[in-house]
Amino acid sequence: MARLAKKFGFDFSKTPDAHGASHDKWYVGGEPVIVPRHNEINELTAKGILRSWEEMLEEAARSEEGQGE
């Protein structure tokens, strides 16, 4: 996730108070993604998280490009 954020030029962060018993809330460009906090995450879940994260990054990058014009 950090590599994807960097690829699109966004900061990647987690606020210290944004976690539950078994999940954390990570932010990129102000948009949250909920990530399970387990030693291992099954492959389908991980791929789904990365796919949605990449879609959000692409959309945010397009939005920022449009604002700069």
Yes or no: say if 2 and 12 are a contact pair by the CB < 8 Å rule.
yes
Confidence (pLDDT) at 51: 87
33 vs 24: CA distance, rounded Å: 8
Total-model pTM: 0.58
Sign of the Cα torsion 49, 54, 57, 62 reads: negative
pLDDT per position as a tens digit, 17-64? 556 677 877 777 677 777 777 778 888 988 888 888 888 888 888 887
* Closest of 58, 53, 46 to residue 9, by C-alpha: 58
Question: Which class for 18: exposed (0-12), middle (13-18), buried (19 or more C-beta within 10 A)?
Answer: middle
**Domain boundaries, given as residue ranges, for the chain:** 33-69
